[in-house]
Structure 1
Amino acid sequence: MNDIKDLILDKAKERMERFGFRKTTMDEISKDCSISKKTIYEHFADKEELFGCLLYRECQGTIRMLFDEPADMPDPLEKLTLLIRRAVAYFNQDHFITRILKDEEMFLALVNTKYRKIIDEEIITSIVRVIREGKQQGKLRDVDEQIVAYAGFRLFQSFSYARTWPLAGAGNEPYFTEVLVDFIINALQKK
C-alpha cells in the first residue's frame, strides 16, 4: 500500500474509533489528512470501500498476530489450543476490530463489505492448514478439513464476539475458553 492510502486509512480509523462509521465523513477524513477530498476519491470510490479496505488491513494484522506464534509450534494440537486461547483473549480486549464486531452500526457496515467473506475464507484456510498438518502427523482424525475448520471458526465466533447464546456467568471467559478448547481438541484428536 502506498503512503497516502495508509495515511487516509489511519485517519479514517482514528475518526471511526471516535465517532463511528455513520458520523465519519469523507470531508472530515480529508481535513484530518490535510489532503483534498479528490485525492481520497482517487484511492477509494466511497466511504464503504474505504471502510472495507481499512477493515481488511486491520484484520490482516490481527490474523498475522494470532497465527504467527502458533505457526512455529510442531504439535498441531498445541497449535490449535494456543490459537484458540490467543484469539479468545484478543477478542476480550478493546481493539479496533473488537469494537467493530461489538458495535451494531460498524458491524452492519462490515457485513455489507465484500471483504468480510475474504477475511472469513482466509481464517478458515489458515485453520485448514493446521488440521491438515495434524492429519499428516497422525495426531488428528481423518476429517474434512474445510468443513471442520468452518464449523470450528463459527463455534469460536459464538463463544467470543458474536455471543449468539447468553451464557450464564458471562465474564467467565477462562472457563468458556477451556470448554471450547476441550471440545475442539477432543473432537479432532486421534485416539
Structure 2
Amino acid sequence: MDNHDKKRTLIIEAATKRFAHFGISKTTMTEIAKDLSLSKALLYYYFPDKISLYAAVLENIAKKMFHKIDQGLVDIDNCEDAILYIIDMRLAFAMKYYNLFDQTIIGNSMEIPQELSRVIQLVSEREIKTIASVFNKANQCQELHVENTIYIAEIFLNAMIGMRFCVLKDKKAMFIPTKDEFDEISKMQKKLAVIFLNGLRNQEKS
C-alpha cells in the first residue's frame, strides 16, 4: 500500500468513527481533518465533499462485512445455516454502524447521490454473489439442485429487501428502520429463508 492509499485509509477510518458516533449530519469535514491533524485542503484533495467520503466509508464497511461473512461460510456446510448466518451478519453490522444510516441522505431513493447509488449497487451485486455461492455449494453437496443460482439468489434478496417495507411503521416518511424494526425484519427474513429453501427442495421432488 503506497502513501496515498495509506492516507486515504486513515481518513476513511477516522470518518467512520465520527459518523458512527455522532452521525453524518452532525460531523463536519473540519472535525475529521482535525482528528488526523490534516489541513482541510488536503482532506478535500482525497475527498471533494462529505458525500464522497460517506460513500467511501459505507463501501469500506461493506467490504469488512462480506470478508467476515466469507470467513464464516467456509465452515458452514448446511445451506440453511449458511443463509441464516448471512442474515445474522447483516443485522450485526447494521446495529454496529446504525448511526451511519442517515435518513436525510438515503431516506428518499429518488434523491440518493450518485456516489451512494454506486455503493448501493455494488453491495447488492455482492450480496447476490454471496447468496449464489451458498446455493452453488449446496448443489455440490447435492443438498439442492438450483439451475440458475444467480437468478434465484436475486429473487431471494429482493424478497428479503421487501420485508423492510412490511415492518416500517411509517412507510411514507421512513426508509431506514429503527433498531427494533431491524431486529424484527431480521427475524422475518429468517422465516422467509426457511420457507424459500423448503420451496426449492419441494420443487426438486415434484
Question: What are the residue-to-residue correspondences of 1:35-74 with 2, within 5 Å?
Answer: 35-74=38-77
Deviation at 1:125, TM superposition (A): 0.9
Q: Secondary structure at the match of 1:22?
A: coil
**Count of equivalent residues:** 184
User: 2:195 aligned with 1:183, yes or no?
Assistant: yes
Equivalent pair of 2:59/2:119 in contact (CA under 8 Å)? yes
* Cα distance in structure 2, aligned partners of 1:174 and 1:9: 28
Q: Does 1:94 align with 2:74?
A: no
Q: 1:54 corresponds to which letter in structure 2? A: V
Any unmatched runs of 5+ in structure 2? Answer: 170-180
Task: Name the counterpart of 1:104.
Answer: 103
Unaligned runs of 5+ in 1: none
Would the alpha carbon gap of residues 175 and 20 (structure 1) be closer, same or farther in structure 2, given more than 3 Å must change?
A: closer
Q: How much has 1:105 moved relative to structure 2?
A: 2.4
Give per-residue Cα distances to partners, 1:112-163, cap 9 Å, x unaligned: 312111111111111111112222333213342222211212222344xxx2
Distance 2:168 2:30 in 1: 42
Q: 1:179 to 1:32 in 2, by over 3 A?
A: same
Aligned-partner residue type, residue 116 of structure 1? I
Q: Measure, in 2, the Cα distance between the counterparts of 1:167 and 1:187.
A: 27
SS of residue paired to 1:176: helix
Contact 2:78 2:138 in 1 (8 A): yes
Q: Assess if the C-alpha contact under 8 Å between 2:132 and 2:153 holds in 1.
A: yes
Distance 1:41 1:175 in 2: 42
User: CA separation in 1, counterparts of 2:64 and 2:195?
Assistant: 28
From the superposition, tell whether residues 179 and 140 of structure 1 become closer, same or farther in structure 2 (CA, over 3 Å). same
Q: Percent identity?
A: 22
Whether the 8 Å CA contact 2:29–2:40 is kept in 1: the answer is yes
TM-score (norm 1): 0.78
| 2:123 equivalent among 119, 124, 128 | 119
Contact 1:11 1:32 in 2 (8 A): yes
Over aligned residues, Cα RMSD in angstroms? 3.0
